[in-house]
């Protein structure tokens, strides 16, 4: 998938997610804002209620999306049946289906969370919330374009490549190059699990100001702004990010392992209670359009 096609793919997923949420909110807010006891008298109750034409349909669609999002990613990650496409793109598909699916389920509940199925609902909320955190940790572990984790050797080879690019694509003096390398290397020294985790979070937000100070330093050395912007800053940014990631690599890998302990069990409890919920509704005679 080329860069442009990938951008279009992400834009399409975003447009689908945002527009369906906006459409559901705009069309349904008058019903959802009614007190629960008044809802049966609303003209569109049979449409929006959890067992209604739209409400029930959204429950089914949202659930199918989550099942598809989880199963395809798990199959692709283990290369069972699905062997094509980059893992990274399948993760993006997982995130899309498992974010929009829960939104549909939220509209299915019509914002009332009663009975045992509420446990499934809150487990779903917990999986989505932990997913966002997991996604952040995931991005802190360097991956190749196809989504496989880079080893320490791969990272140091990439770093050398970036240093070479900096050396040959811009006319920096050896002294300036040495200064840049030293400023970037400073970022590396973070030992201990907690300190490197805190450092990664802090540093994520400090990247802009660090680049700015390096840019000011280069300007004072008389390097033209154009060269800095087009040749130096993009490489510096990559080097800074890589340096931060390699400095905290082991901690992030550990954190990601612990993170799976949260994400997975909530997903399991959500699905188990959802299956019971579906069986009960079918036994009570709710068949949607069938």
Interaction site with ligand HEM (CB under 6 A) = 50-51, 56, 59-60, 63, 66, 70, 73-74, 77, 91, 94-95, 98-99, 102, 105, 108-109, 112-115, 117-118, 120-121, 124, 127-128, 131-132, 134-135, 138, 263-264, 267, 270, 274, 277-278, 281, 286
Q: What share of the chain is helix, strand, coil (3-state, %, to 5)?
A: 80, 0, 20
Spatial neighbors of 159 by CB under 8 A, at least 6 apart, are 239, 242, 243, 246
SS3 147: coil
In the complex, the smallest distance separating the C-beta of residue 51 from ligand HEM, rounded to whole angstroms, is 4
Cβ-based nearer residue to ligand HEM, 82 or 211 = 82
Cβ-based nearer residue to ligand HEM, 28 or 50 = 50
Quick one: CA torsion of 207, 94, 121, 119, rounded to 10 degrees? Answer: -90
In the complex, the smallest distance separating the C-beta of residue 65 from ligand HEM, rounded to whole angstroms, is 9
Cβ-based nearer residue to ligand HEM, 179 or 256 = 256
CA distance 156 to 162: 10
Tokens of 62: 């949202």
Tokens of 253: 């890998």
Query: CA of 221: how far to CAs of 28, 76, 175, 225, in Å?
Result: 60, 50, 11, 11
Tokens of 7: 């951008």
In the complex, the smallest distance separating the C-beta of residue 245 from ligand HEM, rounded to whole angstroms, is 16
Quick one: CA torsion of 30, 33, 34, 37, rounded to 10 degrees? Answer: 140
- Among 102, 109, 105, residue whose Cα is nearest residue 36: 109
Cβ-based nearer residue to ligand HEM, 193 or 286 = 286
CA distance 49 to 69: 26
Cβ-based nearer residue to ligand HEM, 87 or 228 = 87
In the complex, the smallest distance separating the C-beta of residue 103 from ligand HEM, rounded to whole angstroms, is 10
Residue nearest ligand HEM by beta-carbon distance? 131
Cβ-based nearer residue to ligand HEM, 120 or 196 = 120
CA distance 240 to 210: 9
Spatial neighbors of 155 by CB under 8 A, at least 6 apart, are 142, 242, 245, 246, 249
Cβ-based nearer residue to ligand HEM, 109 or 243 = 109
């Amino acid at each position: 998938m080329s860069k442009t096609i990938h951008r279009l793919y992400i834009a399409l997923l975003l447009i689908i997610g945002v527009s369906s949420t906006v459409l559901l909110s705009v069309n349904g807010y008058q019903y959802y804002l009614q007190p629960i006891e008044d809802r049966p008298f609303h003209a569109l109750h049979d449409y929006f209620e959890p067992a209604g034409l739209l409400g029930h349909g959204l429950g089914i669609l949202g659930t199918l999306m989550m099942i598809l999002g989880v199963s395809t990613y798990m199959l692709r990650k283990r290369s069972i049946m699905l062997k094509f496409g980059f893992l990274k793109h399948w993760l993006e598909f997982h995130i899309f289906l498992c974010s929009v699916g829960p939104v549909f389920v939220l509209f299915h509940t019509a914002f009332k969370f009663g009975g045992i199925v509420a446990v499934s609902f809150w487990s779903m909320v917990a999986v989505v919330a932990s997913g966002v955190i997991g996604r952040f940790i995931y991005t802190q572990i360097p991956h190749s374009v196809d989504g496989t984790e880079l080893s320490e050797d791969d990272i140091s080879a990439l770093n050398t490549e970036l240093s070479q690019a900096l050396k040959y694509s811009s006319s920096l003096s050896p002294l300036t190059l040495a200064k840049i390398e030293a400023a970037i290397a400073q970022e590396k020294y973070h030992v201990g699990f907690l300190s490197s985790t805190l450092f990664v979070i802090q540093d994520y937000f400090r990247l802009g100001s660090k680049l700015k100070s390096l840019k000011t330093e280069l300007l004072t050395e008389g390097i033209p702004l154009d060269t800095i912007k087009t040749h130096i800053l993009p490489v510096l940014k990559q080097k800074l990010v890589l340096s931060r990631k390699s400095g905290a690599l082991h901690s992030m890998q550990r954190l990601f392992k612990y993170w799976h302990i949260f994400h997975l069990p909530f997903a399991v409890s959500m699905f188990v209670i959802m299956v019971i919920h579906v069986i009960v509704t079918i036994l009570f005679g709710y068949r949607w359009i069938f």
